[in-house]
Amino acid sequence: MHILTHTNILNEIETNSEYFAIPGLPDQIEVTKPQAFTWSKGDSKETTEIFERAQEADKDSFGIVVNSFEELEPKYVEAFAKAKDKKVWCIGPVSLCNKSFNDVAERGNKAAINGHDYIKWLDSRDPGSVVYVCLGSLSYVSTEQAIEIGLGLELSNLPFIGFIRNTTDEFERWLLEEGYEERVKDRGLMIRGWAPQILILSHQATGGFVTHCGWNSTLEGISAGIPLVTWPQFAEQFLNERFIVDVLKIGVKIGTEVPIVFTELDKSKIIVKRQDVKIAVQDLMSTEEEGEARRKRAREFKVLVKIAMEEGGSSHRNMTLMIKAITSIKEVAKNTKSVIDV
């Protein structure tokens, strides 16, 4: 974000379809102007105001707390600290702080159905066989898109759990009239509402994750050692996709290229077709050499996550250092005030 908002490169790009390399990054990351622009001020009054408030707060900050872990992106942590000229503490993944079943099942909100029901269903599946589909808590899925997702998953012939956050009467009518849920009942669940995501991702039956590439979901998938189908929509999600696919090499792109304006999610006409859904999930779950290599890399990151969060690990150590730094600043401020009072 720092690089994109402190360079004139976007002014030099003449078309919205041209890919260009983001300057100053450790890897060759290419995006289009709209994909980069959605991670800056955006093109609405609301996003501009939020961005400017964040910029002002950033100027006065002593350091930056990041929900990540150093082993995941060491070159980027170093470059970020240098670019911002501030201390950077990676203390994540914070989602791993939830330990009990109930905490994990209800993290963020109340699940649409009981967490134990998911576990029972997943227990009946082969290890690594289930595709989990969830496009985030802020994403809007139109009726047409929800139908295409459902049909694509059906065509894939793979076991799946699909979550539709904002169901409509039209979609419910389609499900009923087409008998969709009856057709897929032996290998698929289509759920409305909130998903107990960590619970599902951490189950041994889950082998793939179709995600909008929001950072929380991305990190939760990485923490579970699961390869990802990337379906970015807005904000930093296209940059996260490049990180997942091009740097970590644990993802398969579904093919979206044009960002959706966040304030106009319900007006978007961009539809990912059923064949693209089918191809992406089949590619992700493939047992061919490339698919196995993705899974191997994903499992390696799961091990690194565990080490980072343990006592003595990088995230545990950074949490300790952050607390000491803040305590030190407060002590200096207290002593300075005492001198002034005298």
The reported pLDDT for the residue numbered 342 is: 41
Instruction: At 139, give phi and psi (nearest 5°).
Output: -70, 145
The reported pLDDT for the residue numbered 291 is: 97
Which segment of 5-9, 238-242, 244-248, 328-332 scores lowest on mean pLDDT?
5-9
**Does 259 sit behind a cis peptide bond, omega within 30 degrees of 0 on the bond before it?**
no
Asked whether the beta carbons of 40 and 9 are under 8 A apart, the reply is no
Average pLDDT over residues 313-336: 84
Q: How confident is the model at residue 193 (pLDDT cuts 50, 70, 90)?
A: confident
Q: How confident is the model at residue 56 (pLDDT cuts 50, 70, 90)?
A: confident
Q: Tell me how crowded residue 116 is: count the other CB atoms within 10 A of its CB.
A: 11
The reported pLDDT for the residue numbered 133 is: 97
Kindly write down the DSSP assignment for every residue of 101-161, as one continuous string.
HHHHHTSSS--SS-HHHHHHHHHTS-TT-EEEEE--SS----HHHHHHHHHHHHHHT--EE
Question: Which residues partner with 191 through β-bridges?
Answer: 163
Residue-wise pLDDT for 215-229, tens only, equals 999 999 999 999 999
The reported pLDDT for the residue numbered 103 is: 52
**pTM of this prediction exceeds 0.85:** yes
Hey, what amino acid is at 270? I
Closest among 148, 176, 178, 179 to 164, alpha carbons compared: 148
Does residue 3 have a pLDDT over 50?
no
Percent above pLDDT 90 for the chain: 61
With 0-12 / 13-18 / 19 or more C-beta atoms within 10 angstroms meaning exposed / middle / buried, residue 332 is exposed
Residue ranges per structural domain of the chain: 109-306
Does residue 175 have a pLDDT over 70?
yes
CA distances from 242 to 43, 232, 266 (A): 22, 10, 25
CA distance 319 to 175: 48
The reported pLDDT for the residue numbered 191 is: 87
Asked whether the beta carbons of 207 and 225 are under 8 A apart, the reply is no
**CATH for the stretch 109-306:** 3.40.50.2000
Averaged confidence pLDDT in the chain: 87
Residue positions counted in the chain: 342
Which segment of 56-70, 95-109, 304-318 scores lowest on mean pLDDT?
95-109
Asked whether the beta carbons of 88 and 81 are under 8 A apart, the reply is yes
Residue-wise pLDDT for 274-320, tens only, equals 999 999 999 999 999 999 999 999 999 999 999 999 999 999 999 99
Closest among 128, 248, 121 to 196, alpha carbons compared: 121
